[in-house]
Amino acid sequence: MQRFMGIILGVLFLGIGIFLYFKTNNLVKNCTVETEAVVVGMKQEDSTDDVGTSYVYYPIIEYDADGKAIRVTMDKGSSNPTYNVGDKLTILYNPNKTNEFIVKGDMSSNIFTILLIAMGVFVTGYGIKVAVKKD
């Protein structure tokens, strides 16, 4: 079983990367209406461990979708806030699900997805090499 751990781990990374690729691709395909959003607040989440307490900040944005004010907490947070309250962002939202959106020009999801897929391919390949290696 240990001999196949690299393959299992690699396929797991590859599977998650492919899932995220299709999820992001679907979001890009469906988010077609461009508008301006404003950062109206920050949601703070804390995590305590042996080292201490750390915080992750998630921007809360507000935008107009077909005459209706939409307020959404972004799903990407960071320890150093990427945006400040009052910042304006250009977004694309889904006209059928107005709380679904992407920040125009944000490539961070694509980079993470590409890294996961590449890591999955590498680890799977290495795992296969280890699994077929003769002792």
Task: Return the higher-pLDDT residue of 111 and 85.
Answer: 85
Reported as a pLDDT band with limits 50, 70 and 90, residue 134 is low
Average pLDDT over residues 110-124: 90
Domain coverage including residue 92: 33-99
Check whether residue 5 and residue 37 sit in a common domain: no
Q: What pLDDT is attached to residue 133?
A: 82
The answer on pLDDT for 12 being more than 80 is yes
Check whether residue 71 and residue 16 sit in a common domain: no
Check whether residue 14 and residue 60 sit in a common domain: no
What's the structural domain count of the chain? 2
Check whether residue 12 and residue 37 sit in a common domain: no
Check whether residue 95 and residue 111 sit in a common domain: no
Q: What is the pLDDT of residues 22-34, one digit of tens each?
A: 988 888 899 999 9
DSSP states along the chain: -GGGHHHHHHHHHHHHHHHHHHHHHHHHHH--EEEEEEEEEEEEEEEE-SS-EEEEEEEEEEEEETTEEEEEE-S--BSS-SS-TT-EEEEEE-SSSTT-EEETT--HHHHHHHHHHHHHHHHHHHHHHHHH---
Check whether residue 27 and residue 37 sit in a common domain: no
Check whether residue 2 and residue 13 sit in a common domain: yes
Reported as a pLDDT band with limits 50, 70 and 90, residue 135 is low
Q: What is the pLDDT of residues 50-95, one digit of tens each?
A: 778 888 999 999 999 989 999 999 988 888 888 999 999 999 999 9
